[in-house]
Amino acid sequence: MSPYAKYMAAFAVAANGLWMIGLGLGLLKNDALVKAIFREGDKRELLKGPLYYAISITVATVSFWRNLPVGAVAVANLCAGDGFADIVGRNYGTEKLPHNHSKSYIGSLAFVAAASLASMGCTLYFASFGYFEATSQTHLTTIAVSLCAAIVESLPLPIDDNLTVTFIAIAVGMLLLPY
């Protein structure tokens, strides 16, 4: 395996981030993509959540590659956990959290379930290639990481959750997961 593989993989995600910057600043144009991504109809929104998403995955890729479960678990929490929390919470989240009325109990539960399952799947996948060992303890720990990330995602913080979810998953994963 090339020692540059992780940088090539990270470059693909970083290039996507650069594309978001170009679209968000109006330097590039792709109306179909912009309509698909926007929540509020402002192209500058690409300079927030979608860009932070690309930054988070780039950092996790370069920092952990596939040699440690921490990176896989962090990316799984961002992609599956945050994604499912949004979908389930918007469609079924009638009971809102007391500390954040834009988030729901069912959305947070969906976060933990999806992030935990995706984390376990990712660790099993990379373990099957011998990059690291995935034990039952590793899988239980991914649930704890996902629970912590879901709690942080539910907080009404001024920082975008595409950053906070990834970096709390990295921090908790560094404390709890084997490396």
Rounded Cα distance between 102 and 91, Å, is 13
Helix (H, G, I), strand (E, B) or coil at 101: strand
Structure tokens at 97: 């959290």
pLDDT in tens, 10-47: 999 999 999 989 999 999 988 777 777 776 667 888 89
Helix axes 49-64, 5-24, angle to 10 degrees: 170
pLDDT of residue 41: 64
User: Are 160 and 49 in contact, with CB atoms under 8 Å apart?
Assistant: yes
Beta strands in the chain (DSSP E): 96-97, 100-104
Element (H, E) at 116: helix 105-128
Nearest to 10 by CA among 47, 56, 46, 49: 56
pLDDT of residue 100: 96
User: Are 106 and 89 in contact, with CB atoms under 8 Å apart?
Assistant: yes
pLDDT of residue 33: 76
pLDDT of residue 42: 76
First to last CA, the chain: 20
Rounded Cα distance between 119 and 98, Å, is 28
Report the sign of the C-alpha dihedral through residues 160, 175, 66, 76, in that order. Answer: negative
pLDDT of residue 35: 75
* Spans of the chain below 50 pLDDT: none
pLDDT of residue 3: 80
* Average pLDDT over the chain, rounded to an integer: 92
> Where along the chain do its domains lie?
5-176
Q: What is the pTM of this model?
A: 0.90
